[in-house]
Structure 1
């Protein structure tokens, strides 16, 4: 196996393992659940701090000074409590996932969130002289919140598993939740007490709380650091490592920003005002302008790489949606949508891109190609504008353009790799969904696809939404046609219309899965109407070029048959297409277990009365086959491909011979499906069969190719 193929395989396996881990899922989903807060807060900050005075003057004229208060309230209610929101979301998600893995022991996600929230306040409560909001905010509270969320939730769930800690309550009161609360109460009490002891340890170590202890720890590697390239790479790299694990990198290193980068920028501004050369290269404005275009990870570069090189329409649409926020350095839609957080495929470029950009910008600045940063534009200042404002020169935006190109080049091969891995993963999930569909085992709500857990259910929901959109378009769903050959007379007897869906991301979607998705979402009537219209229109288009007895066969589902207006819908389609009813045959799949009750018989009887033919598909091995022959008005029986397997004089031959004899006695026609070899054809001809369908004669082909095949095999 080539080295690059081995690397792809390892990355795929690693991504698959990480995606299935409850911890990583909890982090990704916990962050994703807070995305509305992040986006609203970011937009409020963008409006409030946008570096265009004309916009502020227009808002003052329209709303007075109140629009600033409005933005402040939005920021306080979103960014101001973001760490608490992540803490609660993570705890609830992790508990729900634990319940899925341990169905015999259910823990209330709400109670788990309450316990974890209490643990967070116990270990992180600040002194009375400090604002609480400072500790709940996105920039200051995220790391403590995630650490407490992970540790407290894990501890509480482990304690809940210990039977000796479960209070022996049966039914308590009229609400079953009361029993759950009382049973898990010792575990909750012990969890909170454990974090109280941790807080006591911080106090003994002369650290006010967890928040202060963490910031002291993170500042240690940067003590005594100068304005060097090594410092810049260490700061940019560590920031990206935090971001990869879902932690806001610059905010995690706030003490470095506060004590080193911001003072360096202020010193540059003072020096410039006094007429001296600015002394520092590494400032907050330097990293914001040259290594965080689009947000941490320089995600504007990723957007460019995806738009230029990705074939994944889903990611392309996501990037277009994220383009405007990314221009203002808000990258959460990409971090959580692609995702970049905890995604091993993008780990290397996500960390490497800002490092490369730091090196190029540092060297360009050291060589005086780019002025040193003298101003600190708002962090939401758009790319190119931020470069001009930070340096006071057009060299700033020129440097940003160079770094955008370099970053896109770093991301580009990983975008291609991500497409390949996602395609492989999609095929694996589609295979699993197809097995679920063909097994005939619906979920708890009677749906065969949408009720599936995990990745299968997620992909099923995506496909279901895409199918609804595809039904309104004309470029994804289409029909192909497979001829049915009368081998005795050597001519085409009929054609079966077969559905195809070419999904823009997952490629070919198996027809049984398409039908199951349509049934799960109540789209089967629309899909069935589409198939009938396309097939009848195609057959009508052949009217002057083929014989008057060529039948078009179309598969229908039980839900279509049981529609009391189905016969009228079919008749209307035939009339609109200008097609005689005798040239349409509807196929009922034996495996669908359509009951031959009064409603079914009435529907099929109506179809027969208007002249439409009825066929039983996949006939032979199901337990309802003979019952169908007895109860249903049948014109054609299609012998299942499972009976075409095996050697001569086997049991299958006896079954086929019996079906042929029945067809002669009862007056219906037989079609043998799945004929792929000349030996099979000779075998079934010897058993009395005459009409065949399979790859030996023709694969399913387009309407144009099918017509060519029919005309080439017509009688002279």
Structure 2
């Protein structure tokens, strides 16, 4: 009876709730908005690899050919990408969120949000009296602030549009001009409100809007999300949601990405400044070490099925899932084996990534393995290579190999159970078909 109640709670309460979260317009906007940032991060990471490639002979050769300041010159490209991700995220999140509402020009909403975001940033004055926006505040340092502005300012803008607080132009006016005039009233209201808010906060001990966000929101969330406990909780929900066919990495990533990408940016800044890398948990920690081979580290299971399965069914799935798994794509195995709604496979699917989080965290925290450098290795990069690139050290590749072996050891007994069950079913089907053929003859 209790088991039925528990299953009813999962099916009737947890799964619908998770489904609603996955389809929430705000989570979707976060996910799709951050997707706009990823090309910049990957491009900037390529230039960072060029300037920080972990081979002394290469560094010496580059210095001899291009001069001792060659790394600084290469860093210009990194600055042009990494240091605007907050601004781009604000535009992307606002655009995606506004697009989900009817009767709202998404481009106008995103431009107003960008203006509000820039208005929150305190200006810096140099010795010559020149005033400018600090570039770092447009990057990872301002990422959490960009997230909040992109969501809340856009919702406020949409509310005013739906309240018809706008100028209406004749139908003969080109749409671009009409949209610009429609944005005047809500845009002015938003900019004026943020301006007054900035002036008012200047009289408090916070002094600036970013200080409020850092003290009240960003620091506590980062303190949780940037720890091993935050990583464990996040990874549990990634696996749990996947077991019911919901893309757990997308749901959880929409919540944790601002924290993990911020940690990544801090690591990249430290590497560039030749300072110790501050953070263990970051986006690369999750992507390249916990999700190597896909959520649940199913790469070892896919290769087992490919090379060691005795049943024709599992061997066929292994042939289908093996190559994608090498490039961290595991949908074929998730729905082909399946792991989704499979109570037997649910155990290792949850346990393996949790064990991997612990091994990876302890290895990097103690210094046995180099920490991630803030380089966004493309998520389809095969394991071993991605570990080396993410850490700039061979220890990263070795750690991925250790995780693969440990994960494989956990997966193995469950793989054997599935293989025996499939083999038994195939034998039963073959015997039945043989008996039917014999009866016909």
**Same-fold call, TM cutoff 0.5:** yes
8 A Cα contact 1:124 1:210, kept in partner = yes
Cα 1:145–1:410 shift into 2, 3 Å: farther
8 A Cα contact 1:92 1:113, kept in partner = yes
Does the alignment pair 1:307 with 2:299?
Answer: yes
- Find the aligned partners of 2:218 and 2:183 in 1 and give their Cα distance: 40
8 A Cα contact 1:249 1:296, kept in partner = no
8 A Cα contact 1:239 1:249, kept in partner = no
Cα 1:90–1:8 shift into 2, 3 Å: same
Deviations 1:692-713 (A, max 9, x none): xxxxxxxxxxxxxxxxxxxx9x
RMSD: 5.2
Q: Residue 119 of structure 2 is aligned with which of 119, 122, 130?
A: 122
- Find the aligned partners of 2:410 and 2:81 in 1 and give their Cα distance: 34
- Find the aligned partners of 2:221 and 2:255 in 1 and give their Cα distance: 21
Cα 1:141–1:220 shift into 2, 3 Å: closer
Cα 1:180–1:254 shift into 2, 3 Å: closer
- Counterpart secondary structure, 2:100: helix
What's 2:437 paired with?
none
Describe how 1:493-642 pairs up with structure 2 within 5 A: none
Does the alignment pair 1:383 with 2:378?
Answer: no
Cα 1:409–1:122 shift into 2, 3 Å: farther
- Find the aligned partners of 1:383 and 1:46 in 2 and give their Cα distance: 13
Cα 1:174–1:383 shift into 2, 3 Å: closer
Q: Offset at 1:158?
A: 0.4
Does the alignment pair 1:213 with 2:205?
Answer: no
8 A Cα contact 1:301 1:407, kept in partner = no
- Counterpart secondary structure, 1:204: coil
8 A Cα contact 1:31 1:86, kept in partner = yes
Q: Offset at 1:68?
A: 3.8
Q: Offset at 1:301?
A: 5.7
- Find the aligned partners of 2:325 and 2:198 in 1 and give their Cα distance: 43
Cα 1:38–1:388 shift into 2, 3 Å: closer
Deviations 1:641-660 (A, max 9, x none): xxxxxxxxxxxxxxxxxxxx
Q: Residue 73 of structure 1 is aligned with which of 65, 71, 76?
A: 76
Cα 1:255–1:15 shift into 2, 3 Å: closer
Q: Offset at 1:180?
A: 3.5
What's 2:257 paired with?
247
Describe how 1:404-415 pairs up with structure 2 within 5 A: 404-405=404-405
- Find the aligned partners of 2:41 and 2:181 in 1 and give their Cα distance: 36
Q: TM-score, normalised by structure 1?
A: 0.39
What's 1:133 paired with?
135
Q: Offset at 1:98?
A: 0.7
What's 1:481 paired with?
none
Q: Offset at 1:47?
A: 2.4
Describe how 1:182-197 pairs up with structure 2 within 5 A: 182-197=181-196
What's 2:248 paired with?
none
Long gaps (5+) in structure 1: 100-105, 226-230, 259-264, 267-282, 324-333, 339-343, 414-711
What's 1:605 paired with?
none
What's 1:23 paired with?
26
Q: Offset at 1:256?
A: 9.9
- Find the aligned partners of 1:126 and 1:403 in 2 and give their Cα distance: 46
- Find the aligned partners of 2:17 and 2:297 in 1 and give their Cα distance: 23
Q: TM-score, normalised by structure 2?
A: 0.60
Deviations 1:526-549 (A, max 9, x none): xxxxxxxxxxxxxxxxxxxxxxxx
8 A Cα contact 1:140 1:251, kept in partner = no
What's 1:166 paired with?
166
- Counterpart secondary structure, 2:84: helix
- Find the aligned partners of 2:349 and 2:205 in 1 and give their Cα distance: 37
Q: Offset at 1:39?
A: 1.6
Does the alignment pair 1:91 with 2:101?
Answer: no
Higher fraction of strand: 1
Does the alignment pair 1:38 with 2:38?
Answer: no
8 A Cα contact 2:289 2:387, kept in partner = no
Does the alignment pair 1:110 with 2:112?
Answer: no
Long gaps (5+) in structure 2: 127-131, 238-251, 269-274, 303-316, 335-339, 342-346, 376-384, 414-439
Deviations 1:659-700 (A, max 9, x none): xxxxxxxxxxxxxxxxxxxxxxxxxxxxxxxxxxxxxxxxxx
- Counterpart secondary structure, 1:98: coil
What's 1:49 paired with?
52
Cα 1:284–1:8 shift into 2, 3 Å: farther
- Find the aligned partners of 2:191 and 2:320 in 1 and give their Cα distance: 43
Cα 1:201–1:58 shift into 2, 3 Å: same
- Counterpart secondary structure, 1:214: helix
- Find the aligned partners of 1:216 and 1:350 in 2 and give their Cα distance: 37
- Counterpart secondary structure, 2:125: coil
What's 2:156 paired with?
155
- Find the aligned partners of 1:385 and 1:255 in 2 and give their Cα distance: 16
Deviations 1:401-437 (A, max 9, x none): 4445556789999xxxxxxxxxxxxxxxxxxxxxxxx
Q: Offset at 1:117?
A: 0.9
8 A Cα contact 1:83 1:136, kept in partner = yes
8 A Cα contact 1:26 1:93, kept in partner = yes
Does the alignment pair 1:142 with 2:134?
Answer: no
8 A Cα contact 1:30 1:93, kept in partner = yes
Cα 1:309–1:193 shift into 2, 3 Å: farther
- Counterpart secondary structure, 1:207: coil
Q: Offset at 1:147?
A: 0.6
Describe how 1:136-535 pairs up with structure 2 within 5 A: 136-137=138-139, 139-163=140-164, 165-167=165-167, 169-171=168-170, 174-217=173-216, 232-234=227-229, 236=231, 243-245=253-255, 247-250=257-260, 252=262, 284=278, 293=285, 295=287, 298-300=290-292, 302=294, 305-309=297-301, 320-321=326-327, 356-357=355-356, 359-360=358-359, 372=367, 378-380=373-375, 383=387, 401-405=401-405
- Counterpart secondary structure, 2:54: coil
Cα 1:292–1:57 shift into 2, 3 Å: same
- Find the aligned partners of 1:56 and 1:179 in 2 and give their Cα distance: 55
Equivalent pairs, count: 348
- Find the aligned partners of 1:144 and 1:303 in 2 and give their Cα distance: 29
